[in-house]
Amino acid sequence: MRRTIALGTLAAAALLLAGGSVLNGTAAGATATGPASASTADRSASIVRFDVEFSPFKLIDIGKDGQVSDGDEIVFHDTLLQHGRQVGDELGSCVIVDQTAGLANCAMVIRLPRGKITAAFDNAPPPTKTLAITGGTGRYRTARGDGTLVEAGNGTGTLTLRIVS
């Protein structure tokens, strides 16, 4: 029973991670909230929020046994919204590294009209995930920072990014 719950939680977390977040910032279609920190190093940070609609759960089952196991991969392609309007999407994958703990290593690309932002995170059962911004392209080519993905549990969520340029 515990294994089933952990796997279900992992699947739900991966779904939310893949597509859900609300970001407010300087992304095209996003609204900037201004500096997000009092420290000198973070004065150029922008907060960006998106509402997320997660894609259906998709598991690549390497063992072809119908069960989530270590090495399996969850792939996603989620929609990013602001004020009910699509402003981008996010796509990525999570490799399951410990199915008994519901733990996966994830990478994602957030695609926005003026560039892309890449991020990495560990996906585990709690509904809140912490992301590390690892880079970007276009307007975000020097991006760094972090983010928070919060799963609502109904196929939606919010994504908040603190982008430092």
Report pTM.
Answer: 0.75
| pLDDT confidence of residue 43 | 63
Compute the average pLDDT of residues 89-93. 98
Q: CA angle, 35 as apex, 157 and 145 as ends, to 5°?
A: 55
- Residue 137, amino acid: T
Which fold is adopted by the domain 2-164? AOC barrel-like (2.40.480)
| pLDDT confidence of residue 3 | 36
Residue with tokens 């952990």: 6
| pLDDT confidence of residue 46 | 94
Domain positions in the chain are 2-164
Measured between alpha carbons, how far is 23 from 27 in angstroms, rounded to an integer? 9
pLDDT per residue over 22-76, tens digit each?
233 334 334 333 333 344 455 689 999 999 999 999 999 999 998 899 999 999 9
Which residue, 59, 63, 70, is CA-closest to 105?
A: 70
pLDDT per residue over 120-165, tens digit each?
999 988 899 999 999 999 999 999 999 999 999 999 999 999 999 7
